[in-house]
Amino acid sequence: MLAFGTPGSPLASARAGVDHGQMTHPRTTRRPELARFLRAKRARLRPQDVGLPCGDRRRAPGLRRQEVAQLAAVSVDWYIRLEQGRVGIPGAEVLDAVARALLLSPAERRHLHLIGRDEAPIDAAVPTPVSDSLLALLDGMPLVPAYLMDFRCDILARNAAAAALFGETFGLGDAANNAYLLFLDPRTRKTQLDWTRIAREAVGNLRADFARHRDDARLAEVIARLRRDSAEFAAWWDDHTVQERSHGVKRICHPVAGELTVAYDLLATLDGSHQRLFAVTPADAATDRALRGLITDRARTMTGRSSRAIQDAAATAPLAPASTSPLD
């Protein structure tokens, strides 16, 4: 991708009054919602909000179109047509320049891309600690095994029910990355009765996340280790399968409770952290009874251990394999 304002980029060409590169499709499409949105966001800004002199008294509130064009480094004519909804499909780079010029929030920038390009932008991951409210949510589900994971498959926190199902070391040390467990831990693989399907889903999810976060060093590290140490992962990675999994059913073989059939659901945060909550529920009556039994037995032996305590322990725990299988 060309950098902002570099020679030959769409924005540099715009400074010379050239529109080449400012749209990715020559077809002109009326976009009335885009036009209304841009006019509203321009009207709310004052010149001093963006570092421009106030100048003479204005007949209408907000910035002038030519001022927005100047701030976004695009031609005035092109911006006027954009605000009138008379352009084709604008390029993502130039929409981001307009978003910066109008001081749009992350949510407003996403909306601009949706109404301007019919697709959401790729957002960089924002390093964010697990919130107190998410930890409280985990601890507030005593009968539902659940855990938080990021797009790198690193486990950030888990609740007591997850420990009862997956083992006390789940989420700690080497057991703090779900993909490592699935592909590199023989005991985890043995408990996964649908291992091939679940493992291929995991590869497809990592492939989709890699497209969004190509510059993330930790994600690159995880993928490199898996390609090096797992022949199956390397083969499936190279076939470029892409999947976006949010729900499924699978079977696991628990060392105490026996065969369990469970459903899993994914809930994603919308705050830019790309954290995901995985919740596991029984798929039949027998599994429901078995899960309740595992959770009850653990509660008799351990008290006062919360998701916050597990999260804090993860930072100092020695490397140790998981004692049983995660569901993803």
> Model confidence at 173, in pLDDT bands (50, 70, 90)?
confident
Question: pLDDT at position 69, please?
Answer: 92
CA distance 211 to 205: 10
Give me the sheet containing 276-282, strands edge to edge.
Answer: 155-158, 146-149, 276-282, 258-268, 247-254
Assess if residue 29 is contained within a domain: yes
Question: pLDDT at position 83, please?
Answer: 87
Question: pLDDT at position 8, please?
Answer: 35
Q: Residue 166 in contact with residue 185, Cβ under 8 Å?
A: no
Assess if residue 325 is contained within a domain: no
Asked whether the predicted pLDDT for residue 275 surpasses 50, the reply is: yes
Instruction: Give the CATH number, domain containing residue 73.
Output: 1.10.260.40
Asked whether the predicted pLDDT for residue 13 surpasses 60, the reply is: no
Residue that wins the pLDDT comparison between 294 and 318: 294
- Tell me which range, 26-30, 52-56, 89-93, 224-228, is most confidently predicted by mean pLDDT: 224-228
Of 55, 87, 117, which residue is a domain's last? Answer: 117
Q: Say which DSSP state 97 is in.
A: H
Both 225 and 285 in one domain: the answer is yes
Q: Say which DSSP state 298 is in.
A: H
Assess if residue 322 is contained within a domain: no
Which amino acid makes up residue 65?
R
Assess if residue 126 is contained within a domain: no
Both 112 and 192 in one domain: the answer is no
Question: pLDDT at position 4, please?
Answer: 32
Average pLDDT over residues 56-85: 87
Asked whether the predicted pLDDT for residue 286 surpasses 90, the reply is: yes
CA distance 212 to 234: 20
Instruction: Give the chain's domain count.
Output: 2
Both 158 and 19 in one domain: the answer is no
Lowest-pLDDT range, 51-60, 68-77, 163-172, 200-209?
51-60
Instruction: Give the CATH number, domain containing residue 177.
Output: 3.30.450.180
Question: pLDDT at position 117, please?
Answer: 82
Q: Which residues contact 1 (CB under 8 A, 6 or more apart)?
A: 93
Lowest-pLDDT range, 17-21, 34-38, 192-196, 312-316?
17-21
Q: Which domain holds residue 196?
A: 132-314
Both 109 and 146 in one domain: the answer is no
Both 145 and 98 in one domain: the answer is no
Query: In this predicted model, what pLDDT tens digit does every residue of 197-208 receive, in sequence order?
Result: 999 999 999 998
Number of C-beta neighbours around residue 16 at 10 A: 8
Asked whether the predicted pLDDT for residue 277 surpasses 50, the reply is: yes
Question: pLDDT at position 260, please?
Answer: 97
